[in-house]
Amino acid sequence: MGIGIRIEELRKVYDTPPPMAARGAAFARAGMRSGRNEKKNFEVVALAGISLEIRPGEVYGLLGPNGAGKSTTIGILTTRVKPNGGRALLGEYDVWKEPVKVKRLIGVVPQRPNLDFALTAREILLFHGAYFGQTARERSRRAAELLEKFKLTDRADHMARTFSGGMMQRLSIARAMMHDPEVLFLDEPSAGLDPQTRLLLWEIIRDYNRLGKTIVLTTHNMDEADALCDRLAIIDHGRIIARGTPSELKASIPGGHLLRLRFDRVPEPLAAALQALPGVLEVRPVDSAGADVYADRGGTLIPAIVSAAQAADVELRDVSISEPSLETLFLHHTGRSLRD
């Protein structure tokens, strides 16, 4: 059957600084002396009223730059963050009125692994299964299965605190799937995974989705969103600035193309000439011998680029034309680059 999610006008204002090291980004601030006054004046609007509808059995992606409010949204949907306004419904349950019922339906992979460091990998899965009321037999079968799936079997009986970052991430995903939740939340699931493991994870997510499960994930990576998500929302400053299927979103950008050019060198006149080509929005130098050209067209620009290179007496060594990325999407929808 599958379970859908509805969010209505969700708002969240944090009025205390995050606990130390709870989030990577918060480190700098928590390290500073925070006097009484500072504490009182702390106010961050993390969500400024967002509404979303996630259909049963869909893979839904939340994209956005750091601090956009992705983790906060997930936190609210998973009963961990209390919203200041609005409503969140998971299936038929209001997340804030019936948190226990909601917790039974969801599996959560947090952005920062929060594994139980007093236990071994296998014990983490076994106890997690026990918390969800699985029988001893069921949980040892499922734990063995998941350890195998995430290639952790040979480290299964080591303490989780001895794991590398990527292994912790894998274990954390395995744990979230342990009780076979109807809705799986993954906050930046592929952060810290090597490319091969990332592909493995994508496969696992797709398989899980095929069982009719709803999946909500956040990412910075347009390729990942493209590869996995049925639909996306782009969040910035606690607001949704665009939504739709990946291809809809990409089609919505006029200057959606990125041409990555490699020369033997990039003299000033060449950069200027590229900038002046029709349809070029931005030229960004890369190292000393490359340029990223953002433009509203792709292949049709090549002849002009070649002649510009010849005119500047520069050798064109490599061209790759990328599909629209989060970067270009974001630039289009906010007028700002992701890095600003």
Q: Report the nearest approach of other proteins to the CB of residue 209 (Å).
A: 21
**Residue 132 lies near ligand ATP (rule: CB under 6 A):** no
Q: Which stretch binds ligand ATP (CB under 6 A): 65-73, 148-156, 222-230, 299-307?
A: 65-73
**Residue 79 lies near ligand ATP (rule: CB under 6 A):** no
Nearest residue (CB) to other proteins, 124 versus 293:
124
**Residue 213 lies near other proteins (rule: CB under 8 A):** no
Nearest residue (CB) to ligand ATP, 235 versus 283:
235
Nearest residue (CB) to ligand ATP, 73 versus 134:
73
Nearest residue (CB) to ligand ATP, 152 versus 176:
176
Q: Report the nearest approach of Mg ion to the CB of residue 22 (Å).
A: 11
Task: Name which of other proteins, ligand ATP, Mg ion, none residue 338 binds, using a CB cut-off of 5 to 8 Å depending on partner kind.
Answer: none
Site residues for ligand ATP, 91-130, by CB under 6 A, read 111
Kindly determine how many residues on this chain lie close enough to bind Mg ion according to the rule CB under 5 A.
Answer: 3
Site residues for other proteins, 131-160, by CB under 8 A, read 131-133
Task: Name which of ligand ATP, Mg ion, other proteins, none residue 67 binds, using a CB cut-off of 5 to 8 Å depending on partner kind.
Answer: ligand ATP
Q: Which two three-digit tokens encode residue 309? A: 């290179």
Q: Report the nearest approach of other proteins to the CB of residue 310 (Å).
A: 58
Q: For residue 262, what are the β-bridge partners?
A: 290, 318
**Residue 214 lies near Mg ion (rule: CB under 5 A):** no
**Residue 99 lies near other proteins (rule: CB under 8 A):** yes
**Residue 192 lies near ligand ATP (rule: CB under 6 A):** no
Please give the order of strands across the beta sheet that includes 85-90. 44-54, 5-14, 85-90, 93-94
Kindly determine how many residues on this chain lie close enough to bind other proteins according to the rule CB under 8 A.
Answer: 36
**Residue 71 lies near ligand ATP (rule: CB under 6 A):** yes
**Residue 71 lies near Mg ion (rule: CB under 5 A):** yes
**Residue 111 lies near Mg ion (rule: CB under 5 A):** yes
* 3-class secondary structure per residue, the chain: CCCCEEEEEEEEEECCCCCCCCCHHHHHHHHCCCCHHHHHHCCEEEEEEEEEEECCCCEEEEECCCCCCHHHHHHHHCCCCCCCEEEEEECCEECCCCHHHHHHHEEEECCCCCCCCCCEHHHHHHHHHHHCCCCHHHHHHHHHHHHHHCCCHHHCCCEHHHCCHHHHHHHHHHHHHHCCCCEEEEECCCCCCCHHHHHHHHHHHHHHHHCCCEEEEEECCHHHHHHHCCEEEEEECCEEEEEECHHHHHHCCCCCEEEEEEECCCCHHHHHHHHHCCCEEEEEEECCCEEEEEECCCHHHHHHHHHHHHHCCCCEEEEEEECCCHHHHHHHHHCCCCCC
Residues within the interface to ligand ATP (CB under 6 A): 14, 17-18, 22-23, 25, 44, 46, 64, 66-72, 111
